[in-house]
Amino acid sequence: MEEKHLQSSDFIKDVVIGMADGLTVPFALAAGLSGAIANTSIITTAGIAEIVAGSIAMGLGGYLAGQTEVEHYYAELKREHEEVERVPETEKEEVKEVFADYGLDEYSQNLIVEALSKDKEKWVDFMMKFELGLEKPDINRARNSALTIGISYIVGGIIPLSPYFFVTDSTVGLNYSAILTLITLFVFGYFKSKVTGQNAVKGALKVTLIGALAAGAAFYVAKLFS
Amino acid sequence: MEEKHLQSSDFIKDVVIGMADGLTVPFALAAGLSGAIANTSIITTAGIAEIVAGSIAMGLGGYLAGQTEVEHYYAELKREHEEVERVPETEKEEVKEVFADYGLDEYSQNLIVEALSKDKEKWVDFMMKFELGLEKPDINRARNSALTIGISYIVGGIIPLSPYFFVTDSTVGLNYSAILTLITLFVFGYFKSKVTGQNAVKGALKVTLIGALAAGAAFYVAKLFS
C-alpha cells in the first residue's frame, strides 16, 4: 500500500511539475510579448516554439533525472556489497550506530547485527534503505516521468496561448489569456493542494500568484527592452 | 557527513535543474523564432521575456516544492504522534514487520519494540524515517532552492540569447547561438555528470542532445506555424 502511495504520488508530482510550468511560462512569455508587440501572429509563433521547446526540455530532463536515480542506486548498491565483503566490521558498527541513536542497548544492537549479517543480500538492502535512505527505483519511472511531464506541459501551455489565435490585437489577447489562465491556475492549484493534502484555497492562491508575478514581470521587462 | 553530502547534492541538483532548463528553453525558443522571423530584435525581446518568466516560475516553483515538503513532513509527524498515542499496539506491529522483513526473529523484534517504545519521541522519529522514509527537511531549503534555481536559469538563459544582441539577421544569430550553446551544454553536461558520479562524456552527449532536439523541434514547428 505504501508502494502504491509512492507511485501515484510520483505521477501527480510529474503532472504538477509539467502543468505548473506549462501554464506559467507560456502565459508569461505571451504576456511579455504583448507588452512589446502589437500583432498576435508573432506571439502565437513564439508561444508554440516555447511549448515545443519547454515540453521536450522538461520531458527529456525528467527522463534523465529518472535514469540518473536508477544509476545512482545501482552504483551505491555495488559499493555497499563491496563494503560488506571488505570491511564487514565497519559496516556492523554502522548498523549498531543506527540503533544506538534510537536508544537501543549494546545487547539489542548486537542481536540485530548478528541476525542481519547472516544474509548478505538483506544486510545490503538494510544499509541501502536505513543508512543511505535509498529505495529501489522503478525501471519504467524515467520513461513514464518524461511522458507525463512533457504532455502536462503541452496541455498546460495551450490554455494561456489559445486566446491569441482568435484575436489580432495582442492587448485583447492578453486580457482574455490573463482571465482564462488565472482561473485555470486557481483551479489547478486548488486540486493540486487537495491531492497533496495541503490547504486548498491557500494553495490555489499561491499558484495563481506565481503565474501572475511571472507574467507581470515578463510584461514589464519585455516592454523595457523592446 | 551524510547530512553534508545530502545538502550539497541538493544545491547541485538545483543548479542542474535551473541551468539545464535555462540553457535549453531560451536556446530552443530563439531557434524556433529564427526559423520564422528575420529580425533579431523580436527574438531578444521574446528571449528576455522567457528568461524572466522561466526563472520566476521555476524559482517560485522550487520554493513551493520545498515548502510543501516541510508541510508534508510535519503533517505526517503529527499523524504518527497521534497513532503512537491512540493505537500503540498497531504501531508496535509495524515496527516488528520492518524487522521481520530483514530476517530478525520474534524475540529480537520484541526486544527492539520494547526499547523503542520507552521513548515516544524516538519511536515517532523511527517511524518517520523507517516506515515512511521521511527525513526532517531543512527549513531554509525552500528559500535557498528558489534562489539557486532562479539564478541558474538566468545565467543559463543569457548564454544562448547573447549572440542575437550583436547581429541583426536572425539566421546569423542562430548559427552563433547554436555553436555557443552546444559547446556550453557539452561542458555543463560533462561537469554535471562528473559531480553526480556518472560517465562524463556520455552525460555530456546526452545533455547536448536534449538541447539540440528541443531547438530543432522548436525551429521546425515554429516554421510550420508561422
Which residues of chain B have a pLDDT value below 70? 1-8
Can you read off the three cell numbers belonging to residue B17?
A: 535543474
Is residue A174 packed enough to be buried (19+ CB in 10 Å), middle (13-18) or exposed (0-12)? buried
A129 contact residues in B (CB cutoff 8 A): 130, 133
For chain A, what is the mean pLDDT?
85
Q: Is B72 on the interface with A (CB under 8 A)?
A: yes
**Phi, psi angles (nearest 5°) of residue B218:** -60, -40
Q: Is A90 on the interface with B (CB under 8 A)?
A: no
Mutate which: B128, B154, B225, vs A, most A CBs within 10 A: B225
B115 → closest Cβ in A57, A108, A210: A108
Cβ within 8 Å, pair A54-B119: no
In angstroms, the CA A145 to CA A123 distance is 31
Percent of chain A beyond pLDDT 90?
29
Could you tell me which residue, A58 or A181, shows the higher pLDDT? A181
A222 touches A33 (CB < 8 A)? yes
A114 touches A20 (CB < 8 A)? no
Whether this model's ipTM surpasses 0.85 comes out as no
- Residue B34's nearest CA partner among B188, B181, B210, B153 is B181
Q: Is B53 on the interface with A (CB under 8 A)?
A: yes
pLDDT band at A4 (very low <50, low <70, confident <90, very high): very low
pTM across the whole model: 0.77
| Tens-place pLDDT, residues A91-107 | 888 888 888 877 778 88
B47 touches B164 (CB < 8 A)? yes
Q: Is A38 on the interface with B (CB under 8 A)?
A: no
How many other β-carbons are positioned within 10 Å of the β-carbon of residue B168? 11
A49 → closest Cβ in B52, B211, B218: B218
A180-216 CB burial, b ≥16 within 10 A, e <16: bbbebbbebbbebbebbebebeebbbbbbbbbbbbbb
In angstroms, the CA B33 to CA B219 distance is 7
Percent of chain B beyond pLDDT 70?
96
Output the CA–CA distances (angstroms, integers) from residue A208 to A27, A183, A185, A201, A212, in the order listed. 12, 8, 5, 11, 6
| Tens-place pLDDT, residues A133-188 | 777 777 787 888 889 999 999 999 999 999 999 999 999 999 999 999 999 999 99
Q: Quote the pLDDT of residue A137.
A: 79
Q: What is the enclosing helix (H) or strand (E) of A195?
A: helix A170-195
B110 contact residues in A (CB cutoff 8 A): none
B16 touches B150 (CB < 8 A)? no
